[in-house]
Amino acid sequence: MTTQRLGIIMHGVTGRMGTNQHLIRSIVALRRQGGVVLSGGGRVMPDPILIGRDAAKLEALARAHGIERWSTDLDAALANKDDTVFFDSGTTQMRPTLLAKALRAGKHVYCEKPIATSLNEAVEITRLAQQSGLKHGVVQDKLFLPGLRKLDLLRRADFFGTMLSVRIEFGYWVFEGDLQPIQRPSWNYRAQDGGGIILDMHCHWRYVLDNLFGQVQSVSCLGATHIPKRWDEAGRPYDCTADDAAYATFELRGHRGEKVIAQVNSSWTTRVRRDDLVTFHVDGTHGSAVAGLTSCRAQSRVNTPRPVWNPDEKQTMPFFEQWAEVPDSQVYDNGFKIQWEHFIRHVVENEPWRWSLAEGAKGLQLVEAALQSWKERRWIDVPELRID
């Protein structure tokens, strides 16, 4: 079987997510395994060129991972007809402009989310992509997490019966920077630089809710900037202007048409006492399940215990032990890598693909609805988003 080359322009991969998930654990891993296997048995070998502003970082990153090509000249890279895919994991504020530039250069585009900082920008770039006839997609990595894939398996097996509610708890403590070094970029806490947990996380929650639990119909959201002052990478204090926590409730239309209520807490100002940095708790008439990033535990209707409320005695029932582990029925590869394989096959042999930029625009629709809800202190409907 033959192996064909696919030239990929990778912009913004010197950051943590771009380096670890997209370069090392996806593209480099695919190269080491001999490329992406096609339906007919042939293979596609990704040939990346790393693009960015810092030549020293690019050169070091390329050398460390056996990448032959890197450059600080984006225009020259886009002019190279031998590279047909453009990928971006740089800053959100730059993304619409970069995607538009790549599309006008005739490149298929794939990018991190959010795809823009506003719904208008997201719709505009989606329209451009649709009109171009080129392939386009957005990363929706959480759909490929082992824990959520197990949840979806339970849903498809009708384990839950009628789904009632979902509770998502996400977050951890991000150090302010005075006592201990920060572990997230300082721009995350400046609205003027594209920061804010609602913009960051509600794009995730949109595709998770829509795909696994039900279509989002409306939202009530309260945001907060709990910590008003932080210290940046150079140890300089700055005022926080972006939300660092969000407390949201969503009404969903379930896959059976039932109403499902989702409560979602997102916070960079909470200390973890749960199974994982994010947990998804689903309750249904026939069973419940709790998933983290990799594990999932379930409790069926017939195995549900009968606790008794008695505040005068210490609780002796071992609640955590009353759930059964959903086994690993398959080998779960890296979620980012799995979606990269799908996108590459979509480009090369037109494999069906549903994670287009239109799905990314839906994330921005929910972001703006949540921000409006916070501002106006009321429920906001989320209508079907049509992009013609």
- What are the chain's domains? 3-141+335-354 (3.40.50.720), 143-333+365-374 (3.30.360.10)
Checking DSSP bridges between strand 237-239 and strand 245-253, what pairing results, if any? unpaired
| Least confidently predicted of 207-221, 305-319, 333-347, 350-364 | 305-319
Would you say how long the chain is, in residues?
A: 388
What are the tens digits of pLDDT across the range 41-62? Answer: 899 999 999 999 999 999 999 9
- DSSP designation for 65: T
**Which pLDDT score is estimated for 388?**
80
**Which pLDDT score is estimated for 276?**
96
Tokens of 369: 């609805």
Q: Per-residue pLDDT averaged across 344-361, rounded?
A: 97
**Which pLDDT score is estimated for 298?**
98
d(Cα 344, Cα 351) in Å, to the nearest integer?
Answer: 9
Residue 102 in this model has a pLDDT that exceeds 70: yes
Is residue 373 within 8 Å of 221, Cβ to Cβ? yes
d(Cα 41, Cα 33) in Å, to the nearest integer?
Answer: 14
Residue 365 in this model has a pLDDT that exceeds 80: yes
Tokens of 173: 């403590």
Residue 1 in this model has a pLDDT that exceeds 80: no
